[in-house]
Homo-oligomer: A and B are copies of this chain.
Amino acid sequence: MKFDPDTIVAPNSSHQGSSHRGRPRQFCPDAALTAALKVFWERGYEGASMAELTEAMGITKPSLYACFGNKEALFRKALDLYEKEKLAYVRAGLTAPTAKGVAEAFLRGSLAMQTGNDPRGCLSVVSAVACTNYADSIRDEITSLRLATDRAIIERFERARDEGDFPPGVDPAAMAHYLTAILQGMTVQARSGATPVELERLVATTLAIWPGR
């Protein structure tokens, strides 16, 4: 029976539940995946070579392939991790009391991501924009991920409209796409070297202009 690469289990640094025949793996898959995410994040899918990845992950190629499948599967898992960990502020932001509060939470969350130690820019944006020749499955996953968050923001803004957060005549869906456009633009600017101060000013400007509460 073959090893199932879809299930990452038993990082050997933490407590190991059921014992395991054969030689134990000498690295922590979670840590390795985190390292891989960082590489994909700054180099893009095609820009990240297996050599770079294995070096950053601190493992050899056969270990990588045995544990994660292939490059595409690795990227997919890294993308899952990204959306799980790094995009927490999206889910959190949706709980803000007003539409403007949601916008502020998103903008500040995105800003915090740019000023941290992580690579600049949003992995989803980078992956969506860069090269047309990604594997179709990857493109599909990225777009479906984007559609899901778009949908969530739209629904949140529809509620906001019903609660009177917007001036009359404002379309919630339009405001949602407007907000995501600014977030994406912020990613592009961060990616091309904008300073944290400039990004902070972008946040402030957007909030100053924001219609309603």
Contact = CB atoms under 8 A, between A and B. Distances in A.
Contact of A184 (B133, B189, B198, B211): B189
Nearest to A52: B133
Interface in A145-200: 146, 171, 173-175, 177-178, 180-189, 191-194, 198
B128 A130 contact: no
A121 interface: yes
Nearest to A169: B208
- DSSP class of A's interface residues: helix, strand, loop or mixed? helix
B184 A183 contact: no
B188 A129 contact: yes
A112 interface: no
A31 interface: no
Contacts of A121: 129
A212 to B, nearest CB: 10
A102 to B, nearest CB: 16
Given A188-B184, A192-B143, A44 B178 contact: no
Contacts of A175: 205
A111 to B, nearest CB: 12
A188 B180 CA distance: 10
Contacts of A96: none
A132 interface: yes
B193 A189 contact: no
Closest 5 CB pairs of A and B: A181-B185, A47-B131, A130-B130, A184-B185, A185-B185
